[in-house]
Structure 1
Amino acid sequence: MENGAVYGPTTEEDPGPARGARSGLAAYFSLGRLKRHRRALKILQLVLSLLAFICEEVVAQCTLCGGLYFFEFVSCSASLLSLLMLIVYCTPVYDRVDPEKVKCSDFYIMLGTGCVFLLASIIFVSTHDKTSAEYAATVFGFLASFMFLFDFFAMLYEKRQESALRKPETTARPAEALTEPLNTGRR
């Protein structure tokens, strides 16, 4: 037999960038890394914090501007952080970074952002001039902060469930069974 008959081609051609189920920019995005409820929370966090920032930017004048400026900084930072986390989860960046570090970072980012956003919303409510844009900004601010905190508690719940599954079961053995020799002479 000739070598050609025994050793045939065993691989297929490279499908190329244009062939396949997903092509172009869509090939880089994968929403499958997040569960449906977590993905919805991430999108809600982004939209609500962005709406809070936009409504705050519409405010034309203020009497006590410290609360407004703090709310502006926090709402802008929250929307950028939530966008960053969505990008990390939905692009190949997630594959290049340790997934446990991404989850740990997300865990602490959600806690910190939720607490600071809640504080900024409370401060802004106590210092605003009662215009409709300020009311809308604070409503979106509170909703966004609750979404961040809800995501944090959902991750905390998942971590506790995982750790409960990993715990080894302790079986009660009599003390005598542990001290018996392995070779007892039985045959």
Structure 2
Amino acid sequence: MTDVYSPTTAPNPKSSWFIVPSANLDTVRCGVKVMEVLLSFVAFILEEVVSSCVSCSALYFFEFVSCTAFLFTLLLLILLSTTLQNRVGITCWPRLDFLYTAAIALLFFISSIIFSTNSNTPMEKSAVAFGFLATAMFIFDLVLFVKNSGFPFKKDGTPESSNGAPVMADTQPETERLNTSN
């Protein structure tokens, strides 16, 4: 009896909660974001294993950046790859994604440099190495973002209207003069 229904029954693709590729995240960048999460997590774990530190402020800064990168990148990945992005109420996902990725890349780079100057043990050096790998992955994500979507803050070159209506770029200005006779 199931043979009768199988040719006409099709799965509903809109009922899926995982929506990659989507307008905000393609398949390649999804994989890059997964790598960012993993590299940040490994850097954080390696830093946590360090038992003693020469300069603890560098260690704590690296810890903060790697933990923040791990948790917030995981959150961003979950939001961008599921239907939750429609329920959050954020409409500027490309700008948020770009700014977040750029900020974390910069912070990871700075914290890795600071921590590398104060690292003596193999565990600290391993954490720094994963910090630089994570930095490279965040920068690669930015390059892919700009290559695929363009710079999110760039104007498209069309003039903006002062009253909210779009300006027609191909219309010619009026050349006919008004009749000035009384």
TM-score by length of 2: 0.72
**Structure-to-structure mapping, 1:149-164, within 5 angstroms:** 149-157=139-147, 158-160=149-151
State the distance in 2 between where 1:30 and 1:104 align. 19
Letter in 1 for 2:71: L
1:29 to 10, 15, 18: 18
Pick the structure with greater CA Rg. 1
Matched-pair contact (CA < 8 Å) for 1:67–1:128: no
State the distance in 1 between where 2:101 and 2:122 align. 28
Comparing 92-101 and 131-140, the one that deviates more:
92-101
Question: 2:3 maps to which residue?
Answer: none
5+ residue gaps, structure 2, are: 1-9, 159-168, 178-182
Question: 2:175 maps to which residue?
Answer: 179
**Structure-to-structure mapping, 1:10-49, within 5 angstroms:** 20=11, 27-33=16-22, 34-49=25-40
5+ residue gaps, structure 1, are: 1-18, 182-187
State the distance in 2 between where 1:35 and 1:28 align. 15
What's the % identity of the aligned pairs?
Answer: 35
Shift of 1:28: 2.4
- Alignment deviations for residues 161-181 of structure 1 (CA, whole Å, 9 cap, x no partner): 9968x546x77x8xxx95269
Seen in structure 2, the aligned counterparts of structure 1 residues 100 and 149 have a Cα distance that, compared at 3 Å, is: farther
Q: Does 1:105 align with 2:96?
A: yes
Q: Does 1:65 align with 2:56?
A: yes
More helix by share: 1
Question: 1:13 maps to which residue?
Answer: none
State the distance in 1 between where 2:72 and 2:65 align. 10
Seen in structure 2, the aligned counterparts of structure 1 residues 27 and 160 have a Cα distance that, compared at 3 Å, is: closer
Question: 1:91 maps to which residue?
Answer: 82
Matched-pair contact (CA < 8 Å) for 1:74–1:117: yes
- Alignment deviations for residues 68-106 of structure 1 (CA, whole Å, 9 cap, x no partner): 111011100000111011110122211224564222111
Q: Does 1:138 align with 2:128?
A: yes
State the distance in 2 between where 1:159 and 1:100 align. 17
2:51 is paired with a residue of what secondary structure? coil
Seen in structure 2, the aligned counterparts of structure 1 residues 160 and 57 have a Cα distance that, compared at 3 Å, is: closer
Seen in structure 2, the aligned counterparts of structure 1 residues 160 and 64 have a Cα distance that, compared at 3 Å, is: closer
Q: CA RMSD in A?
A: 3.0
1:148 to 138, 153, 156: 138
